[in-house]
Amino acid sequence: MQYANLLFSKICDEDNVSALTRYGITSADLPTAGERQVFRFINDYAQQNGGKAPSYATLTAECPDFIYTPQVGDSYEYLARQIKKYAAKMSFVELVNGSADKPGEMFRKFDELGEKDFESYVEWLQTTLEGIKIGTSVRKSVGKTLAEIKADFKAEFLKREEGSSAKRWDTPFESLTREISGWFSGDVYGVIGESGRGKTYLLCVIIDSLLRQGANVLVKSFEVKEYVWISRLISVATAVDELLVDELGRNLGLPNKRILAGNLDDEIRAQFLTVVETLDSYYSGTLFFQGKSGAELTRSLDDLEREVMTGTIDAVVIDPFYGLSDVYGKNVNKTAGGAAEYAATRFEQIIGDNDVVGFYTVQATVEKKQTDDTGTRELKIPTRDQVKTSKRLLDIATNLIGFDSVEKEGIAMLGIEKGRNGGEDFRLELMALFGYGVLKEFPSGEVAAKQFGF
């Protein structure tokens, strides 16, 4: 957009990054990925350089879509108004027309609500249009009063109540869902654990749960190939559906290690092939998978933003975070770990701007292995200070979930190491039979009594 480049040029020339805040310019007001990249770079540069704006030469070098115009004479307010006006127009067009694979919300909502309750539909339409107007206006007030807030607050509550705003998804574990209220769109969740302790299995269980709830999930698996990863998902899915029962009466899934070896008994093999044949219709949600060594695997945050901006994704899973090329990219602030810090901030912005749920894993190192009197290693959930990564990556997480398992004992434990909305110090012990796809809460109450013959 011409006006965005003019505004950015003026900011560089006058070293006035605060103009973005003063006139309420956000990345949501900018229609192209290139303009959003310029916006982010200016803000990140200012954060790392005492509030100063980058020079036009630096901005041009870092952001190839930026077109510099010297000595812009238009006022900040005029440029901001033009940007906001175009953003409002695009929001309205999207409301009416939707996208290539998604009908416009205005007509979809009418089909859903208009015939049954036209007054409610008109109220929804008025609220939505007012939201576009307010969200794309240039205002100079210090803030909104409670009188102004109450109508917007009520409208947002009603949208959340019907699930059309700030989507929430249940976790796979009832106790965890009660503790943190679920996964929320726009938020990032980190999983930390030692190498080989089951972080990817935990992710598979989370992804299985999301897919069952109808979510569309993009997975970037940088360390596990497609066949191995899908064999684990099949094992997890069939365990959740209690396909098999062992001699102890435990519900299990298909044995993924034997799937990997291509060595299944005839009866199990027939069940496995039946699941494979129905895999594309197994879930109400859709899995978009990118695995290690696969031609479809992309590694940059630019690629991720492009993929998420299609509007078809509800949740993004990065396993592990340091598989992203940006983590080791150009060090924008010339400090140790600067590239990783920038990558974490950019990831958070992509998740927030596109209103999806973000998950990542990162490895921790627990230096001392504690064992009990029998020599069995004790469960030990890693803490955030045992993660060797940018502190910024831990800071962006709404919840930081530590995970550990002792597979030969069939147990695992997760705990919340950071809870932005509460939940810190929460611990949950789990049954863990990874070879059969089992990672679930232990039964309690009547279920446990029945299982043990009480």
What is the band of 236 on the pLDDT scale with cuts at 50, 70, 90?
very high
Measure the CA angle with vertex 399, ends 397 and 403; round to 5°.
110
Binning pLDDT at 50, 70 and 90, where does residue 375 land? Answer: low
Give 312-364 pLDDT, tens digit per residue: 899 999 999 999 998 876 554 444 457 888 889 999 999 998 889 999 999 88
Amino acid in position 363: Q
Residue 167 has what pLDDT? Answer: 83
Closest CA to 12 of 72, 79, 82: 72
Average pLDDT over residues 271-300: 92
pLDDT of residue 357: 96
- pLDDT at position 312 is 87
Task: Please state, rounded to an integer, the average pLDDT across all residues of the chain.
Answer: 83
Q: How many helices (H) and strands (E) does the chain have?
A: 17, 13
pLDDT digits (tens, 9 = 90+) for 95-145: 777 766 666 777 777 777 656 667 777 777 776 776 666 555 555 555 567
pLDDT at 142: 53
221 or 77: which leads in pLDDT: 221
Domains of the chain: 2-161 (1.10.860), 168-451 (3.40.50.300)
Is 452 strand, coil or helix?
coil
Amino acid 130: pLDDT: 66
Query: Could you tell me which residues come within 8 angstroms of residue 89 by beta carbon, excluding any fewer than 6 positions away?
Result: none
- Please tell me the pTM assigned to this model: 0.67
Specify the range with the lowest mean pLDDT, choosing from 73-77, 333-337, 369-373, 416-420: 333-337
| DSSP 8-state code for residue 112 | I
**Which of 139, 7, 138 lies closest to 73 in space, CA to CA?**
7
Within 10 A of 72 (CB to CB), how many other CB atoms are there?
Answer: 20
Residue 330: predicted pLDDT: 55
Element at 413 (helix H, strand E): strand 411-419
pLDDT value at residue 166: 53
